[in-house]
Amino acid sequence: MFHHAPAICFQYAFKNRETATKAEEVLWNALKGKKLGGYKFRRQHPASRYILDFYCHAVKMAIEVDGGYHFNEEQQRYDNQRSADLLDLGIKVIRFTNEHVLNDLEAVLNAILHAVEAQTAQPPTQ
């Protein structure tokens, strides 16, 4: 489940949970407690050398919420490599901007649910 994450990733994940962005908090409040389609999501979940903003283990899907710095060319190259590395682990990554989460949460949740349901024909276990 943690894809051999080093111990330091767990420390950073714990810290990240305490310093979440407003968009991450809003999305977490909508996802936690199996509120979205009955699927369980984790936040700030270590996977290999990365920390995923949100992760649904049932369908091996990561959700990333990106701030403005993700729009520069160097960061986009890093994000693309990160997504490719995670895909090699069997984890699909979907991304949303902070603004999208904050301004159209319903559309974001619909997109997440659609992506999760597309990953599996089986409903989550209760």
Read off the pLDDT of residues 84-119 as tens digits, 9 standing for 90 and up: 999 999 999 999 999 999 999 999 999 999 999 998
Which neighbouring-strand residues pair with 50?
A: 47
Please report, for the chain, the start and end positions of each structural domain, with discontinuous segments joined by +. Answer: 7-119
The pLDDT tens digits for 12-39 are: 545 655 667 899 999 999 999 999 999 9
The superfamily in CATH containing domain 7-119 is VSR Endonuclease (3.40.960.10)
Query: What are the φ/ψ torsions at residue 58 (nearest 5 degrees)?
Result: -55, -35
Q: How far is CA 25 from CA 21, 66, 101, in A?
A: 6, 13, 10
| pLDDT-derived band at 75, boundaries 50, 70, 90 | confident
